Amino acid sequence: MLLDTNSSFKITLDSGKDEFKKVFNSRNLAKYQTVYNFGFITDEKDTKVLVYFDGQDITQKFSGRGLVSEKETISFQYNNVSYPQNSLIDRASNNPSVYDLTNRNYLWYEKNYYTYDAFDRATIEKTEFYEIKKDAAGIAVSGKTQANTIDYAQFEYKSGTLVFNTYNSHDKVTSKVTYDFSVDKATGKEGYYFKTVENNQYSAIDIEKLEVTTKDEFEINNDESTVESEFIGLFNKSTRNASEESRFNELKAQILWKIENNDDEFAKAVNADETNGGLINKDVSISGLTAEQSAIFSAIFNAKIAGSEYASFALFSEMLGGAENNMLSTDASITGLTALEAKDFIELHNKMACGQIIELIESEKYESLKQKITENADKTYADLKKLIIAQIRNNAGTFNQVIGAQNGKLAQGLDIPGIDGHNALLKTVSESNIDFELKLRNEEEVKTIFAGREVTENLGFDYKYRILHSITTDYESVDSKNRAVVDEAGNVSSGELEKTTGHEDYNTNFSFSGSSREATSYNFEYAQNTRKYTNGQTEYKSVNLHGYVMQSLVTEFELTGSGNNPLSGYTKECTKSTYTRYYNYDTKGNAHDSISDVYQIEDSTFKLEDFNIGDNLDKAFALINSPLLDHISGTETHTSIFDYKGHALNQNIKEYYISHGTGDEITQVKVAGSETLLNIDPGKKHYVNEKIIKNTYNERGFLSEKDTFTYNYEYLNRSGDSLNNLNSYKKQGLERELILNKEFDLRGNVLLSDTKNYKMREIASDIYADGLDAVGNMAENEFIYKEGKETFTTYDFRDRAVTELSLDYKLNERGKKEFLEGIKVENTYSGNKLVMKKSVDFKIMDSSFGYLTSSARKEKFEKGEGILSRKLNIVNNLKFDQDNASVIVDEIWDLKYNLDTPLVGFANGTINDSDFYKSSGTIQYKADFTSRGDAKNAFVLNYSYNDSGNIVISKGEILNKRYNASSGNLLQTNSSEVKLNENIKLGTAFNFDVTNINNFYLDNLLSPNEFLKATVSSKFKA
């Protein structure tokens, strides 16, 4: 076919790859292959540049039939090598050149193993993932030898999958069973946690049409009590056979690893758990250490661990040999410092101990010297900890003592350190994949718990069998405590499943790689087995040769209506659009850089259909220039490391706003080093803050730790500075939040967390550290741990928080947690809406809370010990405008007393309404919500209960608020007080439901004559 050169059709280079192969087998498959991927990126000047961004070295081994039996793929990235580049490959040998090897940055490699049936179909596929190791500072090593070739020793076997496929007579996969594993750090064995079963149903008429996919997910879980009971039984045996001894050593290795690597478990092992105030007592003898070593270790442990990385001045002083008043002897020898440095340090330290204010330059000097001391202490601590762990590992008596054995025996039911609720099924090296699958399917040996089902019905196809229309529905067990029992064929043998949520999808405008470039999703939920659509989004996206999204425009909308057809039974209202550009993809399809701009849609008549976009993506992306879209904010995100599952581990997120200036609204920014606020012209981009995030995931892929450092940007306002240039800003540390998720349910919901809040170190009176070191990098030691909260949460089958208990604490001068107050929240949902929230805040009167374990603290609360309830707050959300509560009854109940003794307010930890009496409340009518859910207009009626228990409405308030479109900050409040000429009495049995409350103020105040019943007076708050 000839291409019509006069047509408007044009071909442009978007992306591609260079491939070099050599050594072919009988099936013409290459044993060695090097791939270089290239595509467009945008440089710092927002100019598109064509570069090589990553590649792979692939080595394959073949079976006797010429099929791939093993495949190794080494992935690497470039720092944007320009395209074209003839220096990457040695054309004579088809080997990577020295130039190529020098420029490579290795990330990971993976190995694949395949087993085939008689029809050459892969029935078993195993993938092993190897991740590059990191140094002590968390920085990835090079992964290279001195010759710049890959160094396998610098990679760590981390995780993988084991897949079993079943085919029909047309070679289509009808069943796919996938087992996910992580390599157990204690034993080095593969630990299996998850099982996913996909059953595919193809059309009987057209064998290419995949009509239905049912995906069931299971947790492979050896629960804590079962594994503890197993270990106790093995431990108490006088003799163990070879198999029992192997299993005993597996569990012992896991216990030892947990003690070594978990601060809480190690603290217990050295008698410094929370029941001892988190400290090791003076003069204690620690197994594996001499008396002198014990004293040194105890002092460092107390300052470093109990004192939150030397943040406690008192414990740090003790470590240095200070007196009770924290003063140091003037001739003290400070390990890590020279004699001259020690003299200067002691002088500054003693000034601070006396409460004297030191100058900024003195503070910086003190912190610099302190860092030398703590670095030396860290090394000593690590060396001594190794001796302690070696003693526990190698000395049976010490190990028995640590795990709680008495006279060489363990009592059944004992809580064994290091064995928790996430115990994987370990695969031995000698077990074949087939033998191991038989074990995995043995219900008597392996416990699997049904987690959920997803059913996708494909309803429309194009001529290439690409899916145009589909409906995906999620199912859950009706009884969340006694989950349904489901087999691999999808049959429910016990219990019952119900539909919960889902989405209906329409796809069109496909790329050459088969990716949909226009997709619309309609989200729905089920209530009483009736489907109701709630919201959705339309996404336009451009993709490269590999199917990676280069840019996307996502427009979100709300749906109002009823029925099973979102296209005809519902009204769509667009709320906002997000335009995102993605850069620097790795070989797993993770974008390491992205820029997202958020646009607010205020016009309720805005419809994408009105723009006749069709297949023209340029038209779609040009929507951001429409006057109907208001650019309000954005983010620039850089992710330096992803794990195998695609979780972002290290992220840097910069947030910016677009200034607005409607009416008397003026956007202002703070000028660095002054109290000056600079007015900004409308439409200007200005940076606001930066978040540096470090995420840690456990073996099951659950987020176990999230560490967030927040910096504010202050504009320098120098000659030549520009608001959209980061170099024109000064970074100032604001806060740090460290969330430690300690316990999870089987679905990954956090049951227990400890949130630690850090503030900036005060370096002089009202002068705070900026959180940066001398070269501008993050300085963790300038964020000081001050307070936090411990949170216990339970969930419903949709993973929503049902109850939440938060216990707030502050740290005293010795770094000890002092629990002061808390709050208990109980939520009730209808569909996907929160319809009632009950909460009781209370004071903690018992100082022993700080000396208990987390579980003991919770138990003490549930018994009602050591707490004083304040009030009960019940919020009923009676009506909604989309996701926002628009009619609300907010009621306060006061605590009852029995004579002079306050009642508890709880029964076994559950809020007890009968311990409170109704006091007062408000009826709130809200309207005209912002995209962040803030109501611009509200009418509030205040009521109270009189001595007779009657509800009395005496006054009200009309509120009109204006918010900054970019930041969401409240700019102005106009308040009009409504004074009733006569009170409205509702009696004692008034029913606060939506029928009685809806438009109550219209019915009772403003008709027939508003001035008969109310007088309105205005106030202004800015």
The answer to whether 606 and 571 have CB atoms below 8 angstroms apart is no
Looking only at Cα atoms, what is the longest distance across the chain? 99
Contact (Cβ atoms closer than 8 angstroms) between residue 160 and residue 128:
yes
Residue 59, CA atoms < 13 Å, CB-side half-sphere: 6
With pLDDT > 70 as the criterion, what percentage of the chain qualifies? 95
Q: Given this model, what pLDDT does residue 1009 score?
A: 47
Collapse the DSSP code of 272 into the 3-class scheme (helix H, G, I; strand E, B; otherwise coil) and give the result: coil
Local structure of residue 134 (DSSP, 8 states): B
Q: Which DSSP letter does residue 850 get?
A: G
Q: What is the three-class DSSP state of 225?
A: helix
pLDDT digits (tens, 9 = 90+) for 811-859: 988 888 899 999 999 999 987 789 999 999 999 999 889 888 898 999 9
> Which of 44-48, 200-204, 244-248, 879-883: highest mean pLDDT?
200-204
Mean residue pLDDT of the chain comes to 88
Phi, psi for 631 (deg, rounded to 5): -70, 120
**Structure confidence at residue 340 (pLDDT):** 94
pLDDT band, very low/low/confident/very high, at 276 (cuts 50, 70, 90): confident
pLDDT band at residue 661, thresholds of 50, 70 and 90?
low
Of the two residues 204 and 832, the one the predictor is more confident about is 204
SS3 category, 889: strand
Under the banding of pLDDT at 50, 70 and 90, the label for residue 495 is confident
Q: What is the pLDDT of residue 665?
A: 64
Residue 974: predicted pLDDT:
87
Q: How many residues in the chain?
A: 1022
For residue 9, is pLDDT > 80? no
The amino acid sitting at 952 is V
Q: Residue 11's pLDDT is what?
A: 56
Q: Measured in whole angstroms, how far is the alpha carbon of residue 10 from the centre of its chain?
A: 43
Output the pLDDT for position 700: 85
What is the residue extent of each domain of the chain? 226-403
Alpha-carbon torsion, ordered 68, 72, 73, 74, to 10 deg: -160
Written as six digits, the tokens of 1016 are 């309105």
Quick one: average pLDDT of 896-912?
A: 95
Say what the pLDDT of residue 12 is.
62
Confidence at 334, pLDDT banded by 50, 70, 90: very high
Q: What is the H or E stretch that residue 497 is in? A: strand 497-510
What does the buried/exposed string (b/e) look like for 621-633 if buried means 16 or more CB atoms within 10 Å of the residue's CB? bebeeeebbbbbb
Question: Residues 555-583, buried b or exposed e (16+ Cβ, 10 A)?
Answer: bbbbbeeeeeebeeebebbbbbbbbbbbb
The answer to whether the pTM exceeds 0.95 is: no
CA distance 699 to 518: 36
306 close to 272: Cβ distance less than 8 angstroms: yes
Distance of CA 369 to the CA centre of its chain: 36
What DSSP assignment string belongs to 734-797?
A: EEEEEEEEEEE-TTS-EEEEEEEEEEE-EEETTEE--SB-TTS-B-GGGEEEEEEEEEEEEE-T
Cβ-proximal residues to 318 (8 Å cutoff; 6+ apart), any chain: 299, 302, 303
Per-residue pLDDT tens over the stretch 392-451:
999 999 999 999 999 999 998 888 887 876 778 888 878 888 888 888 887 777 788 888
| Cα–Cα distance measured from residue 685 to residue 664, given in angstroms and rounded to the nearest whole number | 19
- Is the pLDDT confidence value at 237 over 90? yes
For residue 818, give both structure tokens: 């002092």
Tens digit of pLDDT for each residue in 853-887?
898 999 999 999 999 999 999 999 999 887 899 99
**Residue 655 pLDDT > 70:** yes
Strands (E), 663-702: 667-670, 677-680, 685-697
pLDDT-above-90 percentage for the chain: 53
- Tens of pLDDT, residue by residue over 951-1001, are 988 888 889 988 877 777 887 888 888 877 778 888 777 788 787 787 776
Mean pLDDT calculated for residue range 330-351 = 94
- C-alpha 157/C-alpha 102 separation (Å) is 25
- pLDDT for res 135: 82
Q: CA 108, CA 206: separation in Å to the nearest integer?
A: 41
- Which pLDDT does position 14 carry in this prediction? 67
Antiparallel, parallel or unpaired: β 448-461 and 485-486: unpaired
Collapsed DSSP state (helix, strand, coil) of residue 477 = strand
- φ and ψ at residue 3, rounded to 5 degrees: -85, 125
Give residue 431's pLDDT: 85
Taken in order 231, 237, 238, 242, is the CA torsion positive or negative? negative
